[in-house]
Structure 1
Amino acid sequence: MPYAKLTITIPESIWISKVSRTYPDTRFRVLAATANTATGVARIEIRGDDPEAVCQAMREYDSVTDLTVFEADPEMHRVQVETTVPLLLTSLQDSGVPLELPFEVRDAELTLEVTVPQETLSEFGETLDRVGIQYTVERIQQDTESDSLLTERQQWLLDEAIEQGYYDTPRQTTLVELANEVDIAKSTCSEILHRVEERIIKEHRREDPDMARDIAMPSD
């Protein structure tokens, strides 16, 4: 299936476009999101010099009906935001494109990676054109195996797992603790790490196919 990496310019009418333009150095990492035609809910990690000021600016928009801070420190807040008219999320969902979470918004631009059938990718582009959302295709290819070994999401979670000591001996954190730290479901965390491990092991085996024949197997 085609893999595509797109940069989407969020319309100025959407609150997160305005806020991220006001705070261009702040990173908005969307950890979870869902929407229907009337409302949207997203859990967002806000990283920057003054996340409290960013949260206050978000509350001032009429389309933001509720904002709850779950975790806060001077340079990072994790919040849940409820909004009206979630144009961007509904456009993604209507085109049948599954959201690869987390994705990041910075200075009114969203970077999105998708691996979907060609017809779904075409419909996605048509949907964005229809609602007036500008986008740039940064990369498209038919075979993800021929490019980087891991997707950006897989690399992000692997880096987090290594940093938290998940692969240390003995382990410094559990799967549940790691999933809670990065704010994703345990099952999702497990599946992503399994795919990471599978690809790394298979790539290592592919690069040295004669290795196994050089190892003497112990007899019983």
Structure 2
Amino acid sequence: MPHAQLTLTIPDSVWMSEVSRSYPNTRFRVLAATANTATGVARIEILGDDPEAVCDAFERYDSVTDLTVFESGPEACRIQIETTVPLLLNSLQEAGVPLEMPFEVRNGKMTLEATVPQGTLSDLRQTLDRFGIQYTVERIQQELDSEAPLLTERQQWLLDEAIERGYYDTPRRTTLVDLADELDIAKSTCSEILHRAEERVLKANRDGERDISSRITAASD
């Protein structure tokens, strides 16, 4: 199954593209998102020098119908935003590509990584072309194993960092807050990614033990 990495250029007419280009040094982490044909809702973490000004810029767009600020600070804030133009989400959903959260938008671009069947990858290209979304294929590689990797690259990176920094030591050498600060990510984001990684590892370990147990039972018979 091919693993693809694409850089998507969000169309200039989309509010996220225009705002992120106006604040090129600001990072927009999309923590959760959902959309249908008419509306989209996203929870976004804004990391930059003036997040309040970014929120004001968002609210000036007619296509942004609601904006709620959950947390706010001088260099970061977390918001939930509703829009009538969920173009990017609709294009990915229509192509059948699962969108791994969180993903980041910066200066009008986002990086998409996905391990999908060849047919789905072809559908994605056609859908992006139809929606007028420009993209650059950074790499495509064939996974040697027929199964997708247990962890995403981001989950594997954060898990490795947590292990190296002593988060899983007994007693712990670092806390979740310190780990998130050292890696420059929000505490909630750090917790969410680690939880997903731990869930996959634990379930894979359980399934592996069941598989070994069944083979031993079969051999004894």
TM exceeds 0.5? yes
**Which residues of 2 match residues 95-114 of structure 1 at below 5 A?**
95-114=95-114
Deviation readout 1:1-29 (Å, 9 max, x if unpaired): 11011100000110000000000000001
Deviation readout 1:77-124 (Å, 9 max, x if unpaired): 111111102111010001000001111100000111111111001100
Aligned residues: 192
Match of 1:209 in 2: none
CA pair 141-58 structure 1, distance change in 2 beyond 3 A = same
1:27 aligned partner, one-letter code: R
Assess if the C-alpha contact under 8 Å between 1:39 and 1:84 holds in 2: yes
Deviation readout 1:56-88 (Å, 9 max, x if unpaired): 111111111111111111111111111102111
Cα separation, 2, equivalents of 1:23 and 1:154:
28
Match of 2:87 in 1: 87
1:143 aligned partner, one-letter code: E
Q: Give aligned-pair identity as a percent.
A: 69
Match of 1:217 in 2: none
Match of 2:153 in 1: 152
Match of 1:26 in 2: 26
For the aligned residues, what is the CA RMSD?
3.0
Q: Does 1:118 align with 2:110?
A: no
Assess if the C-alpha contact under 8 Å between 2:26 and 2:106 holds in 1: yes
CA pair 197-161 structure 1, distance change in 2 beyond 3 A = farther
After TM superposition, give the deviation of residue 41 of structure 1 in Å. 0.4
Match of 2:52 in 1: 52
Cα separation, 2, equivalents of 1:77 and 1:161:
24
2:167 aligned partner, one-letter code: Y
After TM superposition, give the deviation of residue 193 of structure 1 in Å. 3.1
Cα separation, 1, equivalents of 2:53 and 2:160:
29
Assess if the C-alpha contact under 8 Å between 1:31 and 1:184 holds in 2: no
SS of match in other structure, 1:167: coil
Match of 2:6 in 1: 6
1:166 aligned partner, one-letter code: Y
Cα separation, 1, equivalents of 2:48 and 2:163:
23
Deviation readout 1:199-220 (Å, 9 max, x if unpaired): 9xxxxxxxxxxxxxxxxxxxxx
SS of match in other structure, 1:46: strand
Assess if the C-alpha contact under 8 Å between 1:158 and 1:196 holds in 2: no
Unaligned runs of 5+ in 2: 181-185, 205-221
Assess if the C-alpha contact under 8 Å between 1:69 and 1:79 holds in 2: yes
After TM superposition, give the deviation of residue 173 of structure 1 in Å. 5.1
CA pair 185-83 structure 1, distance change in 2 beyond 3 A = farther
Give TM-score scaled by structure 1 length.
Answer: 0.76
Unaligned runs of 5+ in 1: 200-220
Cα separation, 2, equivalents of 1:141 and 1:67:
39
Match of 1:202 in 2: none
CA pair 6-185 structure 1, distance change in 2 beyond 3 A = same
Assess if the C-alpha contact under 8 Å between 2:150 and 2:200 holds in 1: no
SS of match in other structure, 1:11: coil
After TM superposition, give the deviation of residue 192 of structure 1 in Å. 1.7
Give TM-score scaled by structure 2 length.
Answer: 0.76
Assess if the C-alpha contact under 8 Å between 1:45 and 1:79 holds in 2: yes
Q: Does 1:181 align with 2:182?
A: no
CA pair 53-25 structure 1, distance change in 2 beyond 3 A = same
Match of 2:170 in 1: 169
1:193 to 179, 184, 198: 198
Cα separation, 2, equivalents of 1:70 and 1:165:
31
After TM superposition, give the deviation of residue 194 of structure 1 in Å. 5.0
1:103 aligned partner, one-letter code: F
